Amino acid sequence: MSMKLTDAVSYGDDDNPSLTLVIMAAGLGSRFGGDKQLAELGPKGETMLQLSIASAIKAGFSAAVIVTRSELIPSLEARLADLPGGFALQFCVQQMTDLPESCRETVQGDKLAELTNARRKPWGTAHALWSARKLVAGPMAVINADDYYGDQAFALLTQGFQQRPDKWQMVAYPLKETLSDHGGVNRGICVTQDNLLISVEEWLNIAWQGDNLVGSHLGRQGQLSPEAMASMTCWGFTPDIFDLLGEALADFVAQPGLAPNSECYLPAVVQAALSAEANAKQVFVSQTLDTWLGVTYPQDIDWVKQKLMELLGD
């Protein structure tokens, strides 16, 4: 299901390709206790999603696709009714039954229906982006709806596509700019070489202990540099990502003993593409010095509101 608010699209040209922002906004917000996509956190009551679209427009993006749940569309439509006339906005509903045709070849029909009916949540971020495949034909940025990325992240993505229109990219943040005052956080720490992504290492419970920033990786505690690059779901892809997502989802669904709450994650698809024996992808990494902000728990709200007021308030 998709819903178009306006048909006005800027198609770009060879030097300045038309860019689409894909926003993953179908999450259930179980830890938050509500729909984070609608939380009014900005200085003027804006949602994070509204702030990201405003930053993308400044950077030259001409369209956005919001992947969400059907019940959220009316509220999101109302909040986004005043977008510029030349900016195209579409909604895409992430549906449990929207799976690659190849799934029907690897999983028998009754079993596939059983798996789908047993789901307690969507199939994951890889599936969220896959859901937008019919609405994006050119280079795209992919972000979370409930995070604040800052203007520079979108400017870096635009610059990256202008310089390398057929390459994937990622914007990373200094780890110190992604921490929480309320306890340890889990972060993907980027391993790079010559500005190319080699891997993303999952570190858990990262927090300050005195003057040291420590966390756990592969079950062992270690020290991290505050300047280490953290991946915060700010990607740049070309449309060939959709074929890889389809293959990954087919393999994921075909796994024996698949748990109803298991998810197919976008970073795992990227890592597999980096490591492929044939036609391995390259991901160019840029680093922004902006602060990243996000809300996970209700107690994060006041802190994030204060930070956004400091950053954006008049």
What is the per-residue pLDDT for 107? Answer: 64
Q: How many CB atoms lie within 10 A of CB 4?
A: 12
| Residue 61 pLDDT exceeds 90 | yes
Mean pLDDT across the chain? 86
Mean pLDDT on 223-236: 94
Taking Cα atoms as reference points, which of 273, 47, 83, 289 lies closest to residue 177?
289
pLDDT, one tens digit per residue, over 267-313 is 989 999 999 888 889 999 999 988 899 887 777 888 899 999 999 98
The H-or-E segment that residue 208 falls in is strand 196-209
Distance CA 102, CA 106 (A): 7
Residue 127 is predicted with a pLDDT of: 92
Confidence of residue 108 (pLDDT cuts 50, 70, 90): low
104 and 115 in contact (C-beta within 8 Å)?
no
Q: Give the pLDDT score at 184.
A: 86
| Tokens representing residue 297 in the block | 């728990």
pLDDT at 282: 94
Those residues with Cβ within 8 angstroms of residue 169's Cβ, 6 or more apart along the chain or in another chain:
157, 160, 161, 235, 236, 283, 284, 285, 286
Q: Which pLDDT tens digit goes with each residue over 118-156?
A: 777 778 899 999 999 999 999 999 999 989 999 999 999
26, two tokens? 């179908």
pLDDT number for residue 218:
84
Compute CA 261 distance to the chain's CA centroid, rounded to the nearest angstrom. 19
pLDDT at 255 over 90: no
Share of residues in the chain with pLDDT > 90 (%): 59
- Taking only the tens place, the pLDDT of each residue in 187-209 is 889 999 999 999 988 899 999 99
Pairing between strand 283-287 and 212-217?
A: unpaired
Q: What is the pLDDT of residue 24?
A: 95
Q: Would you state the pLDDT for residue 277?
A: 82
